[in-house]
Amino acid sequence: MGAEASKPGVAQAFTRLGKDVVPASETAFWNTLLSGNTPTYAAIPSESVRKAISEVPQNIAMLARMAVGKLAKAAENKSTLVASEQEGVMSAAACLSRLLPILFENEHQHQLVETIFWKGQIPGGAATDPCIPLAPGLMDSALVLMYHVGFTVGGANERTAGWNGGITAGVGKTSAKQLDAGRLEMLKLILISCSQTLFVTPDEYKASENKWLSYYTTRTPEQAQLLLQSLCAVIFSYDPVGMGIPYASALGPDRKESVVDLSVQILIVLLDYVIPGKGGAAAPTNRGVATEQVLDSVKLAKPEANTNNAFRNALRSLSSEDDYSVIFEGFCRLLNNPHQANNTVLPSSMKQISCFQELLILFWKLIDENKEFLSYILRAGDINELVVPMLYFMYEGRKDPSKIGLIHICTFILLLLSGERNFCVNLNAAFNKKLPVDLPVFNGNHADLLYIVINKLMTDGPNKLDTLYDCFLTTMSNVSPYIKTFCMPAAAKATSLFEMFATKRRLVSNEHNPRYLVFTLEVFNNIIQYQYEGNPHFIYQILRRKKEFAELQELVEGGGQEEIAAAQQAADNDETQQRFRPSQEWVKSWAESLPLQPCMRLMQHLLPQLEQFCTTGNVNDETIVVEFLKTTTMVGLLPVPHPILIRKYQQNEFTSLWFTTYIWGVLYLRNQSPPYFDAAHIRLFTISYVDA
């Protein structure tokens, strides 16, 4: 009731804040201003705050000083905070969470954040006024209050082991609602204090430093370990379904889910950050993948010890297999929740989480930074428990323009995993789940599901996905040498992608199509040379494409003049001058190196046999043809098997910027109730609105 009653007083005080300078001695006024809660401050119009910032910045500086002072006083208090003190801390945190994003909006013009929070000056104040930098005090206090007994933790052991006792000890444990309230306000303040990134352009981001993130990510190793353990403990112990009672989530808001949401959001922001000029990101390269000869296991060589980011170092130092097990099981439980919640007998009876994009980013960070964790989950876990939800997100995401980023992160994860032999072998496990999507009926394995989904994305996805074709086809090529059997639908989908790029007209129409063609040929070659015996469906589909192979052979021998001339004329007539213009030299540069030999040997040897079998027996049934192909062999007829090559994801400055933009785009969309950030002032990316 107290918070509700304070709403009119807080609103009136904010109105005065924008009119005239209020001296620090008016204690009652400042106490009223710092007596609200999150809904109270959210209800204050942004324009009222902007007016105060613009016209009376001294008041904003004084308010910030008093709010940070409250946090600092509580952080220094070694005894348990009484109820009124806890309310005061949460009010101060909520007030700062409201002020900071609006201050960040035009920091490039007024520099008030630099003046007030980093230099510690009062705008317009006397030269003799004391300078009290607020930013370090705010962040240090927030970090200390994250472990204040009775406010955010239940006992002294959590101050040293982390929330709930840490990752492994936190399994099955839960926290009191009162502790969740304190955690929520502290987490929100930490996240919002990091959000200045949203209000700079991409060029400014690359060239400038986010001082808030630099401060957080250069804490001591002990502080980083403690926070990592705490955040992971609440994330991976969370069970949205609980006892499984239908519609249980309709009984009221789930504060624990809000704590989980903010925990994973803060973690990915801290793990993503690199201080400009301090290293930690890969050197620029031209491509996002690199070719290597296949290895039997994950490279376990430790990355460089110091990335200048304490949280990355803490993530890399995780080494307990018990922790790995809890984390992996948590990922599986949470990422499978969305498709399970959409596949219930009683509609909307199961609670569905919303933080799956953040979880996927966190999983990416883990497998990219901690190779021991990656090795563990490929050796001891069922990685298909994560493959299925990722393919579900990709399949469904193609229908929603706002989910393009989701498809990207899933694609990058699958590309990275496909570079590991154990992952590819695990895809041979039978796929028996029923997903709430319009997949074609098939009886096969997880590799079949992968191929079918990629085909759908390339043939029935938005145009924006064409930048991912390289990654899609690389993933297909990487896994192909290890798949013992493909079902007929998957084989047909894979060979239809070959048809997309194999005609002379298509090959000369786009500079990337020859590269895509090579990927599809590599899939064919891997199956012919390494998995021939178990793949009669795939062999049959390859043999059916004899017309396309004939065209390719003609192109290799110098044909395609007509198609090249037509493409050149179309490019010359294009007023925008954006159409690709091929040349005979360009065609020759790649045509002669197309890896056609295994497929051509297959055609030369099997096609006559197959045609004679069908003619003699009057066979027109695919099942009978496939049974015949099972009796054939290519032993001794193929060239010496090529070494299995894999292409691995390589980070570069462009993908690093994409990840940062994607992370903050997700965080912007996920923090709209109440909205933390005003879309009109965001400069890191452009926000587009589409009809529902």
Q: Which amino acid is at 185?
A: E
Q: What is the pLDDT of residue 674?
A: 85
Q: Which amino acid is at 463?
A: N
**With contact defined as beta carbons under 8 Å apart, do 355 and 302 qualify?**
no
Determine phi and psi for 463, rounding to 5 degrees.
-60, -25
How far apart CA 144 and CA 140 sit, in angstroms, is 6
Is 82's pLDDT higher than 60?
yes
Considering Cα of 367, then 372, then 378, then 381, what sign does the dihedral take?
A: negative
How far apart CA 214 and CA 196 sit, in angstroms, is 12
Q: What is the pLDDT of residue 585?
A: 93
Cα 543 versus chain centre, distance:
39
Considering Cα of 505, then 510, then 511, then 513, what sign does the dihedral take?
A: negative
- Per residue in 549-561, pLDDT (tens digit) is 999 999 988 878 9
What is the DSSP track for 157-202?
HHHHH-GGGSTTTTTT----HHHHHHHHHHHHHHHHHTGGGGGS-H
**With contact defined as beta carbons under 8 Å apart, do 142 and 71 qualify?**
yes
Cα 484 versus chain centre, distance:
31
Buried b (16+ CB within 10 A) or exposed e, 289-325: beeeeeeeebeeeeeeeebbbbbbbbbbebeeeebbb
Rg of the chain over CA atoms, in angstroms?
Answer: 30
- Smallest CA-to-CA distance from 135 within 199, 59, 211 is with 211
- Per residue in 229-263, pLDDT (tens digit) is 999 999 999 998 876 666 666 666 678 999 999 99
How far apart CA 480 and CA 472 sit, in angstroms, is 13
Within 10 angstroms of residue 548's Cβ, the number of other Cβ atoms is: 19
Q: Which amino acid is at 4?
A: E
How far apart CA 607 and CA 611 sit, in angstroms, is 6
Q: Which amino acid is at 580?
A: F
Q: Which amino acid is at 567?
A: A
CB neighbour list of residue 328: distance below 8 Å, 6 or more residues apart = 376, 377, 381
How far apart CA 185 and CA 419 sit, in angstroms, is 41
Q: What is the pLDDT of residue 289?
A: 52
Arithmetic mean of pLDDT, 187-207: 95
What is the DSSP track for 489-536?
HHHHHHHHHHHHHHSHHHHTT-TTHHHHHHHHHHHHHHHHHHS-TT-H
Calculate what percentage of the chain has a pLDDT beyond 70.
Answer: 92
- Smallest CA-to-CA distance from 162 within 217, 228, 218, 216 is with 228
Arithmetic mean of pLDDT, 441-463: 95
How far apart CA 218 and CA 228 sit, in angstroms, is 14
**With contact defined as beta carbons under 8 Å apart, do 603 and 546 qualify?**
yes
**With contact defined as beta carbons under 8 Å apart, do 610 and 628 qualify?**
yes
Is 7's pLDDT higher than 90?
no
How far apart CA 508 and CA 520 sit, in angstroms, is 17
What is the DSSP track for 572-605?
HT-TT--S----HHHHHHHHTT---HHHHHHHHH
Helix (H) or strand (E) holding 292: strand 289-293
- Smallest CA-to-CA distance from 212 within 236, 195, 233, 232 is with 195
Q: What is the pLDDT of residue 6?
A: 41
Q: Which of 263-267, 340-344, 363-367, 376-380 has the lowest mean pLDDT?
A: 340-344
Q: What is the pLDDT of residue 640?
A: 81
Share in percent of the chain as helix, strand, coil (round to 5): 65, 0, 35
Is 432's pLDDT higher than 70?
yes
- The separation between the first and the last C-alpha atoms of the chain, rounded to the nearest angstrom, is 39
For the purposes of burial, counting CB atoms within 10 Å of the CB of 460, is it exposed (0-12), middle (13-18) or buried (19 or more)? exposed
Integer CA distances (angstroms), 159 to 121, 156, 203, 362, 576, in order = 34, 5, 40, 24, 63
Residue, of 520 and 18, whose pLDDT is higher: 520
pTM of the prediction?
0.92
- Per residue in 215-227, pLDDT (tens digit) is 999 999 999 999 9
Q: What is the pLDDT of residue 665?
A: 96
